[in-house]
Amino acid sequence: MELKALPTDIVLSDSKEVLGHIKMDRTLYPGTYVDIEGQTYQILVRRHQYQLKLGRYSLHKAIVHVKETSIPEERTLLNGDWVIGDISCTYNARSEIFRCAVNPDGPCRGCLHYIADH
């Protein structure tokens, strides 16, 4: 089954400014990075809008809320997902969106709070 490109609105999360309307041909999920006009954004939330046609609901478009960012240098592939930071640290959130509660902006290298995960 071939997936059609889904109309997608890109919305800047903090200001609610619509950055663009594009057709996405791949699944965008929270944590994914996208480049729009030379700027990198990270997807925080993905929502879908449905439309009622002939008594049935069908997927109409997606809306992704993003924040302006850069791709972090400290990333690790864990079970098929990219996670931010050093996953050998106890405090690492093992998340694509945030690093940890102790040092969320990083970097992990040289962090005073590092505790090896056993």
DSSP string, 14-61: TT--EEEEEEE-S---TT-EEEETTEEEEEEEEEEEEEEETTEEEEEE
Categorize the per-residue pLDDT at 52 as very low, low, confident or very high, splitting at 50, 70 and 90.
very high
Q: How many residues does the chain have?
A: 118
Residues 80 and 51 in one domain: no
Question: For residue 1, what pLDDT is reported?
Answer: 43
CB 116 within 8 A of CB 91: no
Contact status, residue 32 vs residue 62, Cβ threshold 8 Å: no
Together in a domain, 116 and 79: yes
Decide which of 51, 68, 85 is a domain's last residue.
68
Q: What is the mean pLDDT of residues 63-90?
A: 82
Tell me which residue range forms the domain holding 80. 72-118
Do 58 and 99 lie in a common domain? no
Residue 1 lies in a domain: no
pLDDT in tens, 93-115: 888 778 888 888 778 888 888 88
For the entire predicted model, the pTM comes to 0.64
32-36, 55-59, 91-95: segment of lowest average pLDDT: 32-36
Counting Cα atoms < 13 Å in the Cβ hemisphere of 98 gives 8
Residue 93 and residue 58 share a domain:
no
Query: What CA–CA distance (Å, rounded) separates 44 from 52?
Result: 27
